[in-house]
């Protein structure tokens, strides 16, 4: 899951959540919106993907569910993998767990956990975990604010944009939308904009970039989709576009198409 995206790293703690409970993930994201000083970048239930997200974002903090019973891997596997990452900065690791064992707690501290929160506490909540991070924010930020790291983050963000754009272009090609289509670049940019949280401003941004009216940009994108569904091989379309199509015309609407690829290229 991707949430509100990148922002000013001097004002906010940049957080990755590794948690197998979707409700908890949404609570972290919603509470972060209320606190404003915390930015939940993504949530995953997979410890291996969590390591990739750390490499990609270089977050200040990882909130790590120790068990991941309904996910993939475990918190311990993540901590082991974190030691092996070739990055110049290790994030603050906040463990959340239902395991009360003092032996396990001692083990994970030695493995690299910075703080442990028991989910069995009566007053435990996702908001409490984030509020704790806010109280120690200055110490975490001092640890993470180096010019080398800021430069690395900028480079990482640029590489992420390139990787996503390449995946989007590849997916458009699969369904027969190519650079000859007027709406090709608009669609590629639109999908990336929505990934980065610009859903409401998408048409305005595209209109300004390409010096077109919002309506002409929107029309060109839908026309490109319509043309692909009219001219491409049906088996190719069914193989690469698997979402349900609600339109009576048998063609995805613009936002159905965009949201499908927003999800697909981030999987």
**Domain 13-145 coded CATH 3.40.630.70:** no
| pLDDT at residue number 149 | 59
pLDDT at 6 over 50: no
Q: Order the strands of the 115-118 sheet from edge to edge.
A: 38-44, 13-18, 61-65, 92-97, 115-118
Q: Inform me whether the pLDDT recorded for 5 exceeds 60.
A: no
* Sole residue written with tokens 């001092």: 142
Tens digits of residue pLDDT in 149-190: 565 566 566 677 877 888 899 899 999 998 989 999 999 999
- For the chain, the structural domain boundaries read 13-145, 157-264
**What is the C-alpha end-to-end distance of the chain, expressed in Å?**
9
User: Which CATH code of 2.40.70.10, 2.60.40.770, 1.10.10.10, 3.40.50.720 fits the domain covering 157-264?
Assistant: 1.10.10.10
pLDDT of residue 8: 40
Whole-number Å distance between alpha carbons of 174 and 169? 9
Phi (first) and psi of residue 76, to 5 degrees? -65, -40
| Tens digit of each residue's pLDDT (9 = 90 or more) over 89-130 | 789 999 999 999 999 999 999 999 999 999 999 999 999 999
Q: Can 13-145 and 157-264 be said to share one CATH topology?
A: no
DSSP-H helix ranges across the chain: 22-35, 47-57, 75-84, 102-111, 126-135, 137-144, 147-174, 184-195, 202-210, 214-231, 234-240, 254-264
Mean pLDDT, rounded, for 9-32: 88
């Amino acid at each position: 899951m991707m949430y509100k995206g990148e922002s000013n790293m001097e004002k906010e703690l940049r957080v990755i959540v590794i948690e197998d409970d979707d409700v908890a993930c949404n609570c972290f994201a919603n509470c972060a919106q209320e606190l404003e000083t915390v930015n939940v970048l993504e949530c995953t239930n997979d410890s291996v993907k969590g390591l990739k997200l750390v490499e990609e974002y270089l977050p200040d903090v990882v909130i790590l569910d120790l068990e991941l019973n309904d996910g993939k891997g475990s918190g311990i596997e993540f901590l082991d993998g974190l030691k092996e990452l070739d990055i110049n900065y290790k994030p603050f690791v906040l463990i959340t767990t239902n395991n009360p064992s003092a032996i396990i707690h001692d083990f994970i501290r030695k493995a690299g956990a910075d703080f442990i929160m028991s989910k069995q506490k009566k007053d435990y909540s996702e908001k409490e975990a984030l509020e704790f991070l806010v109280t120690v924010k200055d110490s975490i930020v001092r640890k993470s604010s180096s010019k080398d790291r800021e430069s690395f983050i900028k480079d990482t963000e640029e590489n992420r944009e390139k990787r996503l754009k390449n995946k989007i272009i590849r997916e458009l090609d699969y369904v027969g939308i190519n650079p000859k289509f007027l709406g090709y670049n608009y669609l590629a940019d639109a999908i990336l904009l929505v990934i980065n949280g610009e859903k409401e401003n998408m048409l305005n941004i595209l209109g300004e970039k390409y010096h077109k009216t919002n309506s002409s940009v929107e029309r060109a994108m839908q026309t490109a989709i319509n043309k692909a569904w009219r001219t491409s091989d049906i088996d190719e379309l069914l193989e690469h576009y698997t979402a349900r199509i609600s339109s009576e015309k048998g063609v995805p609407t613009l936002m159905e198409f965009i949201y499908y690829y927003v999800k697909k290229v981030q999987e």
